[in-house]
Amino acid sequence: MSDVQSEIAAQAARWVVEEGLEYGPAKRRAVKAMGLNARVALPGNDLVEEAVRDYIAVFCADTQPQELLALRRLALVWMDRLQEFRPHLGGAVWHGTATHLSDIYLQLFCDDCKSAEIALIDKRVSYVPRTVTGFNSDSVEALSVHAFCADLNEEVGVHLMIYDRDDVRGALLPDAKGRAPRGDIRALRRLLGEVVV
C-alpha cells in the first residue's frame, strides 16, 4: 500500500460518509480531486472501509451509532416481510459503517427469480427494477424501493438483489478479513442484541 493509495482512501472515505457515495465512485472522485492520473492504482475496498471507520470515529462518533441502529432496524422490518426469500443483509449496514445517507442492501435467494417481484406487487410496494453487479461479479436483477425510516425521519433506499436459491452457499464465504460478508435474519437480530431462539 502506497501513501497515494492511503490518501485516495482517506479522500474517498469523506465522500462515502458525507455524501453517501459508493466506494467505486468515491475513489474515482478522489483521484480526480487530487489531480492524479486516472490510471493510478486505486486502494482496495478494505482500505477504504478502514478509512471510513476512521472518519466516522473522528467526525461522526456522536451520531453514527444511532443512525446505524435505525438502518439495521429498518433492514430487519424488510427481512421479516420477505422472509420466504431467505434475505441476507450486506453492505455498510451489515458491516457497521452505515450513516443516514447509506442505503440498505438485501440479497434474496429465490426458487423463482420473479417470485420476489410478484411478492412486492402483491404487497402494493412500488419498486424500480434494474440490473446491477452482484457479489459474484455477475449481473443480477435488483428491485429498488424507497422506505420511510421513522427513526431517521427520512426515506431510505432499500435494494433487493435477486439470486438463485443455490447461490446462498457462495454468499456466506468469509471475506479477506475472515468476516461474514452478509448475515441472515438471525445474525441481524444478534447484532441488534435480540434474543435469538
Tens digits of per-residue pLDDT, 14-30?
999 999 999 999 999 99
Count of CA atoms in the C-beta half-sphere (13 A) of 30? 26
Span 56-103, pLDDT tens digits: 999 999 999 999 999 999 999 999 999 999 999 999 999 999 999 999
For position 138, what pLDDT does the model report? 85
Show the cell assigned to 160: 433487493
Q: Distances from the Cα of 50 to the Cαs of 53, 62, 101, 147, 148, in angstroms?
A: 5, 19, 18, 28, 29
Confidence check: pLDDT of 1 > 70? no
pLDDT band at 194 (very low <50, low <70, confident <90, very high): low
Q: Considering only 17-21, 51-55, 132-136, 188-192, which range has the smallest mean pLDDT?
A: 132-136
Pairwise CA distance, residues 110 & 163, whole Å = 6
For the chain, list the domains and their CATH numbers: 3-59 (no CATH), 64-191 (3.30.460.10)
When pLDDT is averaged across residues 122-146 and rounded to a whole number, the result is 91
Confidence check: pLDDT of 195 > 60? no
When pLDDT is averaged across residues 147-165 and rounded to a whole number, the result is 95
Show the cell assigned to 102: 447509506
